[in-house]
Copies of this chain bind each other. A is one copy, B any other.
Amino acid sequence: MVVSIAGKPAPPARAKPRAHKGERTRDSILRVAVNLASVEGLQGLTIGRLADELDMSKSGLFAHFGSKEELQLATVEMARQIFVEHVIKPALENPEGMPQLWALCTSWLGHVEARIFAGGCFFTAASFEFDSRPGPVRDAIVAAMKRWLRTLSRAVEEGKRAGHVKASVDSERFAFEIYSLAIGGHWGSQLFNDALALDKMRSTILGRLRAVATPRCPVMRSSC
């Protein structure tokens, strides 16, 4: 989906009511940086470009971030926090096992529709942008993606322990399959401006979850 970041409100900062003013400013700056990077790419995120976007002086920004790389790393970390807050945490409120796994999938697909990041899925875009650029920024993206894959994989594992998922399923491999399908859903919805791409992928993922479910698995509906 083609979007403009202009005028888009940053996702609400729920978590830090007692943060110092300096921290709040840094947070607000980083939320703009995350949206900017999700639209224009993380590599294009320079102190100068961000200063333009915020209508701030470059020296004002240098007080927060000493270099482009430091800004990029802080932006990846902020994107990770937003992802945890808006995608992972709400899903983990569901009962363990298949309900939690399905909630993680729908929450993840839904964060693109909800425009949590202005340019779509921050991490998928950043992954492809940085996969051939060795260095600390790539390392931070890899670490965030490994954690997310582990969360999905653990949810499959818990589904097996709860007796909802067939014991024969390879948790890691199945998590990777689900992960790939969601990436494809993001790809199709963003590139083709196809609002139905995420719905189609939700239904494909639901079909895959049903295929590995045992008779003891709670009923899954297309929205949960």
Q: A-side interface residues toward B, CB under 8 Å? A: 1-3, 38-41, 43-44, 118-120, 124-125, 127-129, 131-134, 138, 141-142, 145-146, 173, 176-177, 179-185, 187-188, 190-192, 197, 200-201, 204
Contact = CB atoms under 8 A, between A and B. Distances in A.
A162 B118 CA distance: 45
A interface, over-half SS: helix
B180 A185 contact: yes
B181 A177 contact: yes
Contacts of A44: 43
A142 B41 contact: no
Contact of A142 (B3, B125, B192): B192
Nearest to A170: B200
Contacts of A185: 180
A132 B2 contact: yes
B2 A128 contact: no
A134 B43 CA distance: 18
B190 A184 contact: no
B180 A201 contact: yes
Of the candidates A118, A129, A138, the one having the most CB atoms from chain B within 10 angstroms of its own CB is A129
B188 A184 contact: no
B184 A177 contact: yes
A26 to B, nearest CB: 25
Contacts of A124: 128, 187
A191 B145 contact: yes
Given A180-B183, A180-B201, A201-B180, A129 B125 contact: yes
A191 B43 contact: no
B200 A176 contact: yes
A134 to B, nearest CB: 5
A176 B184 contact: yes
